[in-house]
């Protein structure tokens, strides 16, 4: 597998914010988002067993498989091996690639941050919307369809004034639509990976 990096940190975003997790960042993505803040292109080729060996060196049972877009490479056998090692597997996906239903069932938690709608993944546990001021109506519909935990995350645009405006709008939106919760990129706030 093409692995960009494996590192230990706290989950910075979404439902599991603040909890320790091992991050497996797989290389490559099928999309090119203007606000993408991950450098996922470079990689080392690792076998699944090598990935598992690195993951289990850390004490947290929580593994976040992210990217890039992890579903380009994710396999049932890697999920099975991580489960055999007692790990809880969360993936962070853009949802644009259909996944085998058995693999969908095997993953413990699917966080989907859609960049294109409708998404093609069969299950979403958490819908994490990167908020850029867009119409939220389609995400409301999607959240109801999937019965997902709803996280609204102001986009880091790189423009401080715009970021403040998006945060204000997100807070107002959540106050008016309390089924949503605020997701901040807390790892950036506290300067950890
Ligand atoms: S889907 Fe995610 S990883 Fe891929 S380009 Fe967009 S923000 Fe970056």
Q: What pLDDT score does 35 carry?
A: 86
CATH classification at residue 36: 3.20.20.70
Closest residue by CA, ligand 1 atom 7: 36
- Residue 92 is among the residues annotated as catalytic for this protein: yes
User: Is 89:110 a contact under the CB 8 Å cutoff?
Assistant: no
d(CA 117, CA 140): 12
d(CA 53, CA 50): 5
d(CA 113, CA 124): 10
Does the beta carbon of 38 sit less than 6 angstroms from any atom of ligand 1?
Answer: yes
Atom of ligand 1 nearest to the CA of 40: 3
Which is nearest to 75 in space by CA: 126, 2, 14, 148?
A: 2
pLDDT along the chain (193 residues), means of 10: 98 97 98 91 98 98 97 98 98 97 98 96 97 98 97 96 98 98 95 93
- Residue 62 is among the residues annotated as catalytic for this protein: no
Closest residue by CA, ligand 1 atom 6: 33
Q: What pLDDT score does 21 carry?
A: 98
Atom of ligand 1 nearest to the CA of 68: 3
Enclosing domain of residue 79: 2-189
Q: What pLDDT score does 4 carry?
A: 98
- Residue 155 is among the residues annotated as catalytic for this protein: no
Catalytic member of 23, 62, 93, 155:
23
User: Who's near 58: CB < 8 A, 6+ residues apart?
Assistant: 8, 22
pTM of the model: 0.96
Q: How many whole angstroms from 166 Cα to the centroid of ligand 1?
A: 19
Q: What pLDDT score does 137 carry?
A: 98
Q: What pLDDT score does 160 carry?
A: 96
- Residue 29 is among the residues annotated as catalytic for this protein: yes
Tally of structural domains, the chain: 1
Does the beta carbon of 117 sit less than 6 angstroms from any atom of ligand 1?
Answer: no
- Looking only at the bridges linking them, the beta strands covering 44-45 and 2-10 are antiparallel
Q: Facing residues of 128 across strands?
A: 151
DSSP calls for 9-22 = EE--SGGGTT-EEE
């Amino acid at each position: 597998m093409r692995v960009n990096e494996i590192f230990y940190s706290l989950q910075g975003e979404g439902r599991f914010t603040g909890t320790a997790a091992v991050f497996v960042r797989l290389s490559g993505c099928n999309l090119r988002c203007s606000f993408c803040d991950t450098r996922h292109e470079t990689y080392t080729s690792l076998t699944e067993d090598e990935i598992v060996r690195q993951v289990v060196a850390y004490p947290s049972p929580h593994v976040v498989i992210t990217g890039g877009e992890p579903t380009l490479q994710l396999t049932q056998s890697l999920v099975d091996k991580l489960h055999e090692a007692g790990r809880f597997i969360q993936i962070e996906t853009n949802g644009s690639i259909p996944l085998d239903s058995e693999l969908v069932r095997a993953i413990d938690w699917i966080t989907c941050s859609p960049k294109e709608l409708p998404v093609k993944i069969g299950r979403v546990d958490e819908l994490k919307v990167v908020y850029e001021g867009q119409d939220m109506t389609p995400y409301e519909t999607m959240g109801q369809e999937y019965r997902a935990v709803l996280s609204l995350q102001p986009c880091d645009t790189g423009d401080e004034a715009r970021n403040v405006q998006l945060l204000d709008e997100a807070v107002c939106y959540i106050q008016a639509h309390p089924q949503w919760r605020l997701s901040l990129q807390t790892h950036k706030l506290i300067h950890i990976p």
